Chain A
Amino acid sequence: MAGAPPFPQPSGLQAWLLSAEPNSRWQARFGRGYLGWRSFTNNPLAILGLGIVVLLVLVAAFADFIAPYSPVVGGDLRTERLLPPSETFWLGTDDQARDIFSRIVYGSRITLFVVILVSVIATPIGLLVGTVAGYLGGWVDTVLMRITDIFLAFPRLVLALAFVAALGPGIENAVIAIAITSWPPYARIARAETLMIRNSDFIAAVKLQGASTPRIIMGHVVPLCLSSLIVRVTLDMAGIILTAAGLGFLGLGAQPPMPEWGAMVATGRNYLIDQWWVAAMPGIAIFMVSLGFNLLGDGLRDVLDPKAAK
């Protein structure tokens, strides 16, 4: 390293992160994470998406402090019904004289609840089915993939509808129904990744060391499938939100008086022509949040899964 460096040399923490010769595995990991973060922050749209999602989480966490009114109990039915947006009611009031802004704020909790629960249920199922099918191959692969294809053959909303019809309406059943319809694409992706991994030398090495099949799948295959799966799940979250809102709109998701955004749009439908804000405002919330997840997913894909990006 002779001569004056043309650029200011990174110092301190940054130098430690960017070091070409990390001293420990942790340093290398943090370094990679830092590089990923740098390329992620280069994309303004991805930052916007992240901002929206962070905002959603914050609003859900601090709903009690943000919302000026109760989401369930309305005001005076004689004077405060269906009021247009104003200084006291920022987004107007609905047919029960409830403040729409407060309802949207509390509704963020339901949206977050659905998204988190569905991904927590569906991702492990897809991961397990995909890696097992891909790693074992043979008839296990055939059977598991045929089952996956059958679930993929139903349009998502229609299958979710049928399940909710059978289980009965309600937010928990909606989550179960959406989770049942969400795992097949994850299984496909996990399988495709596994097929690429399973013949690598390091798998052969682990096998020769005597590792059992479950250990190889759980310890060596699954971690390598995670990054592309995370991208896919994030991109899918917009779809999950839209499906949940659709179920809510049809009266099959969260039940009244829960402030679920889709159900709120359905209420507003009755007052569409003269009191448009009742239907419009919750729809804008759904749109913003699913836009946020889409932008975040696109950004994550560029960082974590450069192969898939065009």
Chain B
Amino acid sequence: MTSSIAIGSGGHDVLRFYLTKTVQFIAVLATTLFGLVAVTFFIGRIVPIDPVLAIVGDRASPQVYERVREELGLDLPLIQQFWIYLKKAVTGDFGNSVLTTNPVMTDIANVFPATLELATLGTLIGVLFGIPLGILAAVKRGTLIDQIVRLLGLVGYSVPIFWLGLMGLLLFYAKLDWVAGPGRLDVTYSYLYEPVTNVVLIDTAMQGQWDAFWDAVSHIILPASLLGYFSLAYISRMTRSFMLNELAQEYVIAARVKGLSELRVIWRHALRNAAVPLVTVIALSYANLLEGSVLTETVFAWPGLGQYITNSLQNADMNAVLGGTLVIGATFVVLNLVSDLLYRLLDPRTR
């Protein structure tokens, strides 16, 4: 690497800097996505089930078997098979799902909004409660509230999400009857609205179906709070450590010496500086919720990508499993890179 601290031709260098960064960004994105495709291709090849046999059945004649094998391209060298797989993957073609017979990509496009709805609401809950809690824990360091935040984090890192979901259902649905049970919407409301965005909360609100809307709220609140808790555990812990870091800086002392109110020092000065790494943390926690949603959706019978993958798994529908895995992996990568990019954009020191 050559260090190019050129003085003089300012504007030109800045432009070149951003250009290099963009090229680097695209290169990293491309190689990682290429790697994801390679990994899923590899996984698809180690399946012990013979894909030809799965289609033709074991009574087919050798001619039929051979023809299907050729149709599937399995007679080609492995590297050529990979090339074909890669070309298809780039255009979003992961083959058809055995279970639903639709193209995998169509299925995923149908179920992904449900997952995003859940993960977004979960992150919102995590941010709304996690950041104030983290700030409070940092400001009142060593007190009861600090211990509580620590405990929340510790439990969040240790508790199995599917078990907590079941216990939540038991308590809030079966015993207290505060929320609706598994699923996304009661059957009564399912046909009252047109699925436009496939995000029930938005669709029902836009079409003025308020009964359906509140029913949807009552269904989503428990799984979203569950995911929100895990996001809160992570965000509050990170907020606390960022804030502790900022509160020890000299500019905070300077602000206090100037006689600014404590609230102003905390919210306007310290938090603003802690906000930059927090953006990264929020993006990461959003990505983590995508993973958490796999088990949560199974528990709550939530018709999202997680449930799609596990359903396909149980039916040995490899196309669907690998397509879903790839979509989650790609979302994960993009979120990570975007958070990295935001960090660079928001923090002038990294330039």
Chain A residues with a Cβ under 8 A of chain B: 146-147, 149-151, 153-159, 161-168, 238, 242, 245-246, 249-252, 262, 265, 268-269, 272-273, 276, 279-280, 283, 286-287, 290-291, 294-295, 310
Inter-chain contact B174/A162, CB cutoff 8 Å: no
A161 touches B313 (CB 8 A): yes
Q: Closest A-chain residue to B299, C-beta based?
A: A269
Contact B166 A272 (CB under 8 A): yes
- Category for how many chain B residues contact A: 35 or more
The answer to whether A246 touches B313, judged by C-beta atoms less than 8 angstroms apart, is: no
The yes or no answer to B154 lying at the interface (CB within 8 A) is yes
State A156–B162 Cα separation when bound (angstroms).
Answer: 16
Query: What secondary structure prevails in chain B residues at the interface with A?
Result: helix
Across the interface, B295 reaches (CB within 8 A) one of A164, A249, A286, namely: A249
Q: Which one of B65-73, B217-225, B284-292 contacts A?
A: B284-292
Once the chains bind, are B39 and A154 in contact (CB under 8 Å)?
Answer: yes
Answer whether residue B310 sits at the interface, using C-beta atoms and an 8 A cutoff.
Answer: yes
The verdict on A291 contacting B170 (CB below 8 Å), with A153-B336, A162-B325, A249-B295 known, is no
Question: 15 new A-B pairs (CB below 8 Å) besides A161-B313, A161-B325, A273-B170?
Answer: A146-B35, A153-B332, A153-B333, A154-B329, A155-B332, A162-B40, A165-B321, A166-B43, A166-B46, A238-B157, A280-B170, A283-B167, A286-B160, A286-B163, A294-B157
Question: Which residues from chain B contact A294 at a C-beta distance below 8 Å?
Answer: 154, 157-158
Contact A154 B170 (CB under 8 A): no
Contacts of B43 in A (CB 8 A): 162-163, 165-166
Contacts of A238 in B (CB 8 A): 157-158
A131 to chain B, nearest CB (A): 22
Query: Do B325 and A158 have beta carbons less than 8 Å apart?
Result: yes
Which one, B158, B161, B162, B244, contacts A291 given CB within 8 A?
A: B158
Say yes or no: A155-B313 contact (C-beta < 8 A), given A162-B40, A291-B158: no
Q: Pick 27 A–B contacts, CB within 8 A, sort by A.
A: A151-B39, A153-B36, A154-B36, A154-B325, A154-B332, A155-B328, A158-B328, A159-B325, A162-B325, A165-B316, A165-B318, A166-B43, A238-B157, A246-B160, A246-B161, A249-B295, A249-B298, A265-B166, A272-B170, A273-B174, A280-B167, A283-B167, A286-B163, A287-B159, A290-B160, A295-B154, A310-B241
* B308 nearest CB across to chain A (Å): 12
Asked if residues A155 and B35 are in contact (CB atoms below 8 Å), the reply is no
- Which residue on chain B has the smallest CB distance to residue A251? B314
The SS class assigned to the A binding surface is helix
Q: Determine the chain B residues whose CB is within 8 A of the CB of A155 once the complex forms.
A: 287-288, 290-291, 328-329, 332
Contact call A149/B163, Cβ cutoff below 8 A: no
Q: Check B294 for interface membership: any CB of A closer than 8 A.
A: yes
Taking CB atoms and an 8 Å cut-off, the chain B residues in 17-76 that contact chain A are: 31-32, 35-36, 38-40, 43-44, 46-48
Which residue in B44, B46, B47, B294 is a CB contact (below 8 Å) of A158? B294
Q: Shortest CB–CB separation between residue B351 and chain A, in angstroms?
A: 23
Chain A positions within 8 Å of B166 at CB level: 265, 268-269, 272, 279, 283
B169 sits at the interface (CB 8 A): yes
Give min CB distance, A161 to chain B, whole Å. Answer: 6
**A158, A167, A251, A287: the one within 8 Å of B158 (CB):** A287
Give the distance to chain B from A250, nearest Cβ to Cβ, in Å.
Answer: 6
Identity of the chain B residue whose Cβ is nearest the Cβ of A146 in the assembled complex? B31
When the two chains form their complex, are residues A242 and B160 in contact, meaning their CB atoms are under 8 A apart?
Answer: yes
Contact bitstring B130-154, A, C-beta under 8 A = 1, else 0: 0000000000000000000000001
B154 / chain A contacts, CB cutoff of 8 Å? 291, 294-295
B70-117 interface (Cβ within 8 A of A): none
Closest to B45 in A: A166
Q: How far is the CB of B164 from chain A (nearest CB, A)?
A: 8
**Measured between alpha carbons, how far is A190 from B93 in the docked complex, in Å?**
38
Q: Please state if B321 and A161 are interface contacts (CB–CB under 8 Å).
A: yes
CB distance from A174 to the nearest CB of B (A): 13
Instruction: Kindly state whether residue B309 has any CB partner on chain A within 8 Å.
Output: yes
